Amino acid sequence: MAISRRADSLDLGVPLDREGAHRSLGGHLRRWLPIGIGILMAVAMIVLAAAAPLIAPLSPSAQYSDAVLKGPGAVERHLLGTDEFGRDILSRIIWGARVSLQVGLASVFWGFLVGVPLGILAGTRGGALETAIMRSADMLMAFPTLLLALIIVTALGGTLGNEIMAIGIALTPNFVRLARSLALTIREQDYIMAARALGGGQLRVMARHVFPNALYALVVVATLYIATAIRTEASLSFLGLGIPPPTPSWGNILSEGRQYIKCCPWITTFSGLAIMLAVLAFNLVGDALRDLLDPRLRGE
């Protein structure tokens, strides 16, 4: 490919914080505030999902016949209102965090686990193997993430495992490309030559030298892909292809609420807000980490 994508252009070998030593308090604040807020939001989300049974005020599937389509606070026990079956929206959103985060984290883990070794292999070995790996990745890249995930989920059916796999596969080529471009830079470094000269085998060089040096940049991008994965999961559920109801996911709560936007806009509003905040949290962290890593993007 003639044109490198922006995510591929992370620059290694640049001192991380050149001016860090004489940075003003405001400068520190500006630099660390977004990442702090992002991490705080992400951690809160993970705690919420993990402790859903303890935190959720009511059961996500319990139906209250006296409170069908009630607005936020109309009935005291339903802080964010109820849906058409009299289920508590707040509890459903808290439980829905489980699906979103599980899919978000697990699918990125999948993409990382499959994509990074392939990319490093391609970048370090080169030759026909590189061509084969990169052409396969390009082929998958021809599909936008959502479209590819949509095809796979349609073929396999909408379960949690299938959704993770579908989004994982859709993200894999991104990791392959990034890992390859990082490996291409790293393999030219003197320490790689030194490791080879010391008799390090190819596998050892890849695992002990190339991978650790690429890890930083890979983790940054992985954080951004968690945001993509969460948004993709929500989109699939919204299109009715994700985890089927009654299991709550943010996308299917929003999709079910669509029919009631006239009378009861709270269903779609709060579930959409949850999706946005989750995506925002990981975008904030990933963005701030990337700015820290790549001084060129800061424009300073």
Partner 1 sequence: MLQYILRRVVVAVPMLLGAMSIVFFTMRILPGDPCVAIMGDQATTEALADCTKNLGLHRPLAVQYVDYLWRSVQFDFGNSLRQGYPVSEYIARMFPHTLVLVLSSAVVAALIGIPIGIISALKRRSPLIDYPLRIIALLGLSMPVFWLGILLLIVFSLHLNIFPLIGGGDLDGVIHMLKNGEAFTSPRDFLAAVGDVLHHLALPALALGFTLAATVSRLSRSAMLEVISQDYIRTARAKGQVERAVIYKHAFRNMMVPLLTIIGLFVAVALTGTVLTETVFTRPGLGKMLVDSIGARDYPLAQGAITVFTMIIIVVNLAVDMLYAVVDPRITYR
Q: Which residues bind partner 1 (CB under 8 A)?
A: 2-3, 5-6, 26, 30, 135-136, 138-140, 142-147, 150-152, 154-157, 227, 231, 234-235, 238-241, 254, 258, 261-262, 265, 268-269, 272-273, 275-277, 279-280, 283-284, 287, 296-297, 299
**Angle, to 10 degrees, between the axis of helix 250-257 and the axis of helix 211-238?**
20
Q: CA 8, 14, 17, 19 torsion: positive or negative?
A: negative
d(CA 63, CA 46): 26
Task: Considering the complex, state which of residue 63 and residue 154 has its C-beta at the smaller distance from partner 1.
Answer: 154
Task: Considering the complex, state which of residue 113 and residue 156 has its C-beta at the smaller distance from partner 1.
Answer: 156
Task: Considering the complex, state which of residue 153 and residue 210 has its C-beta at the smaller distance from partner 1.
Answer: 153
d(CA 251, CA 176): 29
- Coil, strand, or helix at residue 131? helix
**Minimal distance in Å, beta carbon 281 to partner 1?**
9
**Minimal distance in Å, beta carbon 97 to partner 1?**
15
Task: Considering the complex, state which of residue 59 and residue 259 has its C-beta at the smaller distance from partner 1.
Answer: 259
Distance from CA of residue 42 to its chain's centroid? 11
**Minimal distance in Å, beta carbon 154 to partner 1?**
5
Task: Considering the complex, state which of residue 152 and residue 205 has its C-beta at the smaller distance from partner 1.
Answer: 152
**Minimal distance in Å, beta carbon 62 to partner 1?**
26
**Minimal distance in Å, beta carbon 254 to partner 1?**
7
**Minimal distance in Å, beta carbon 255 to partner 1?**
9
Looking at the DSSP bridge assignments, the partners of residue 88 are: 82
- Coil, strand, or helix at residue 10? coil
d(CA 97, CA 105): 12
Task: Considering the complex, state which of residue 179 and residue 253 has its C-beta at the smaller distance from partner 1.
Answer: 253
**DSSP secondary structure letter of residue 82:** B
**Minimal distance in Å, beta carbon 258 to partner 1?**
7
The token duo for 31 is 């630099």
d(CA 38, CA 113): 25
Q: Do the Cβ atoms of 91 and 63 come closer than 8 Å?
A: no
Task: Considering the complex, state which of residue 189 and residue 269 has its C-beta at the smaller distance from partner 1.
Answer: 269
d(CA 199, CA 203): 12
Q: Which H, E and C letters describe 253-289, residue by residue?
A: HHHHHHHHCCCCCHHHHHHHHHHHHHHHHHHHHHHHH
Looking at the DSSP bridge assignments, the partners of residue 82 are: 88
